[in-house]
A and B are shown apart, each in its own frame.
Chain A
Amino acid sequence: MEIYLDNSATTKPYKEVVDKMVYALTDQYANPSSVHRKGVIVEKEIKNARKEIAKYTGAKDKEIFFTSGGTESNNIIIRGTAYANHRSGKHLITTKIEHPSVLNTFKDLEKDGYEVTYLDIDNNGLISFEDFKNALREDTILVSIMHVNNEVGAIQPVDKIGRYLSKLKRKVYFHVDAVQSFGKIDFKPSKYNIDLMSVSGHKIHGPKGIGFVYIKETTKIKSIVTGGGQESAFRSGTENVPGILGLSEAVRITMENLKDNIDKINNLKELLLNEIKSNIDNIKVNSSENGVCHILNISFIGIKGEILLHYLEEDNIYVSTGSACSSKKKGSHVLIEMGLLSKEIEGAIRFSLSTMNKEEDIKKAVGIIKEKVEELRIIINKR
């Protein structure tokens, strides 16, 4: 028995995704740029994949570009827009709790002479709309906000921000890192006035090493991956055909049943929260009630999250102490920004769910968590 509750780190691919990738690797191995028939057939497969993704994203085919995933998407979008629009200004806005692929890209742009405003968050992990409005300047060219925080699941008001930006006289581009929200929230980038959006395949039961960006047709952006001119010359490099076909399959399955999926995951989260609350004392829930359906961050006071994590893995229960990307560093920057006490940060565990989890697994997991937490507290209280 295995209970996998680390779906924000990665998800298990759908069987259909794997089958499609095997098909791509065994049959459709030609280079899509080749002139011969075999190449043309692969090119057509990619075209269909793009069409499929565009359809579920509410975009035009030519607004979808394939990348290697979230980190590359964030990099090429932020750099590409900053470089292409520096004549209109060099001011950028983001938040303090972005993913490192965003934060480090902005840090790098600062060295290039760009000025960046990092918005604060409150103790629910949310930025304030007022702060955002105050941060806007005449020379602001790009606003980049993560839709859902990967550690606590807070949903930023990207709808309001998008609407506000659309009312401005001058163009301020709006990038949304949707890695944790695509397939978990029912929204369309065009509806929120989003110009640029990053999505990663392996967070929606697709393959790793593939993702896509949505770039609104009218966006002025510079390519920073130059080469053979693939992806309309925006992101060159021989196409990752198995990845692309697998990704479109994942998007189709996820989005076809989006509302049901969200309901199902939300119910699992409610169950998990209630089970923990009624079985284990001295906890602090770090995710707000209006958070995303699949992330629940809870601090077990008096123990170290990492030790609990290893205790749970002994019973094949897999959780996380924060984001997998930052688990090597001390203390989550998100929890610190939310103003948590150090004992709360130390004891934090992130549970993240998917449609593949079952109710009985959740109940079983909480039973084991209760046992382990009690055991750990006894050991530690002795000291």
Chain B
Amino acid sequence: MYNVVIARYGEIGVKGKNRYIFEDKLVKNIRNSLKKLGKLNVYKQYGRIYIDVEEYDYESIIEEARKVFGIVSLSPAVKFENNYEKLKEVCLELLKDKMEFEDVETFKVESKRTDKTFRMTSLEMSRDIGGYLLSEIGGDLKVDVRTPQVKVEAELREEACVAYLERIAGYGGLPLGTNGKGMVLLSGGIDSPVAGWMVAKRGVDLELMHYHSYPFTSERSKEKVEELARILSTYCGKLRMHSVNLLPIQKEINEHCREEEMTIISRRFMMKIAQKVAISKGCNALVTGESIGQVASQTIQGLTVTNASVDIPVFRPLIAMDKSEIVDIAKKIGTFETSIIPEEDCCTVFLPKKPVTKPKLEKIMLSEQNLDVEKLIDEAIENMEVVDITL
């Protein structure tokens, strides 16, 4: 019965003159995300986006389109020429179809009339259609305008009539590619994929940076991170992942610095390497999964020392979130199950027994003077591996 899926966007609507840039980007992003389902007609019409549905299953289309940032909600709908009588019949058909599979006792009709030449107001339309549905279906069916089990939405527009029953929520946000590019420091844990996802939701294209200590860590832990990147790419499309082996640097720190400073100095190296690569790739910011007080290197003092290693902005979308809140998002976006697979991602051999929780920048910088920082960074980047992650 459905022949179209409606995609609604919210925030884009208030972008003024630039609105069309966002809209066009969104249409393009939807088209890309649906590519694997076949060639689909996605088009913009009077402030909303339609996806024509024919032989394809609309449920899988909605499932995919839901992941496109910028979409607030989606509805499978019936769209046809501007014809009020037919609109009533379609509403009846939709409701009857629903009642075949579910017990429906209460409903309500909500109408919209953008065609102001039409003889009824939208309120009158709702009343008229509601009455029609009641008389055609009969039985125990009742109207409930407050908390109806089913909301029948009927629209009379100049260009077409549209009817539908459900709205499936999207993630909102802004279309990817409308807000620059960020380099995510991605580990195999729970936090960083969520951080990356949250920033991407604001329209930021992502590049990924991953650190490992092979052979102190295993090939499998690298594969796990690639799997996380693959899940992110269901939202973000193709992603480029840069992998850097931190082991040579960790060995140097181990040899020349104090044990308790291992973690914090490693973090500073990660940031510096990420920044250097980010700038060369045209990224405007770094993104991390840090959250205040989660581990020793994420105290305010720790974060300050880490932060002082770079000049470009560092986005920390999880900074004030509790672990449980982060876990909830990870579950929602589908990364949780992969994140909790037990693989060591950062080498535990180098974990200090008593890491500094309140490091002082001057002291850490003094320790770093024992290392040839620039050379180590350059060597790490020279040996960096790059993989493209696609579905």
Contacts and interface: CB of A to CB of B under 8 A. Distances in A.
Interface in B197-220: 214-219
A310 B251 contact: no
B3 interface: no
B342 interface: yes
A310 B254 contact: no
Interface in B66-102: none
Nearest to B353: A383
B259 A383 contact: yes
Interface string B216-255: 1111000000000000000000000000000000010011
Contacts of B14: none
A306 B217 CA distance: 8
A379 B255 CA distance: 8
Interface of A: prevailing SS: helix
A285 B379 CA distance: 40
A331 to B, nearest CB: 13
Contacts of B254: 379, 382-383
Contacts of B342: 328
A171 B223 CA distance: 52
A234 to B, nearest CB: 37
A313 B216 CA distance: 11
A20 interface: no
B216 A307 contact: yes
Interface residues of B, number: 13
B217 to A, nearest CB: 7
A382 B251 CA distance: 10
B37 to A, nearest CB: 34
A66 B311 CA distance: 66
Interface in B304-320: none
B214 A307 contact: no
Nearest to A310: B215
A83 interface: no
Contacts of A307: 215-216, 349
Q: Which of A304, A310, A328 has the most CB of B within 10 A?
A: A310
A310 B217 contact: yes
A310 B255 contact: no
A380 interface: yes
A314 B218 CA distance: 11
Nearest to A375: B251
Contacts of B255: 382
Nearest to B255: A382
Interface string B154-191: 00000000000000000000000000000000000000
A6 to B, nearest CB: 15
B349 A314 contact: no
A304 B215 contact: no
A238 B359 CA distance: 66
Contacts of B218: 306, 310
Q: Which of B215, B216, B342 has the most CB of A within 10 A?
A: B215
Contact of B215 (A313, A328, A382, A383): A313
A311 interface: yes
Interface string A290-329: 0000000000000010110011011000000000000010
A379 B217 CA distance: 15
A342 to B, nearest CB: 15
A349 to B, nearest CB: 14
Contacts of B259: 383
Given A379-B254, A382-B254, A383-B254, A310 B349 contact: no
Q: Which of A307, A314, A380 has the most CB of B within 10 A?
A: A307
Interface in B13-64: none
Contacts of B349: 304, 307, 379-380, 383
A328 B219 CA distance: 14
A382 B350 CA distance: 10
A313 B215 CA distance: 8
A382 B253 CA distance: 11
B215 A314 contact: yes
Nearest to A372: B215
Contacts of A311: 215
Given A304-B349, A307-B349, A328-B342, A379 B215 contact: no
25 contacts: A304-B349, A306-B218, A307-B215, A307-B216, A307-B349, A310-B214, A310-B215, A310-B216, A310-B217, A310-B218, A310-B219, A311-B215, A313-B215, A313-B219, A314-B215, A328-B342, A379-B251, A379-B254, A379-B349, A380-B349, A382-B254, A382-B255, A383-B254, A383-B349, A383-B350
Given A310-B218, A383-B350, 19 more contacts: A304-B349, A306-B218, A307-B215, A307-B216, A307-B349, A310-B214, A310-B215, A310-B216, A310-B217, A310-B219, A311-B215, A313-B215, A313-B219, A379-B251, A379-B254, A379-B349, A380-B349, A382-B254, A383-B349
Interface of A: 304, 306-307, 310-311, 313-314, 328, 379-380, 382-383
**For the complex of A and B, 3 pairs with smallest distance between CB atoms:** A310-B215, A311-B215, A314-B215
Interface of B: 214-219, 251, 254-255, 259, 342, 349-350
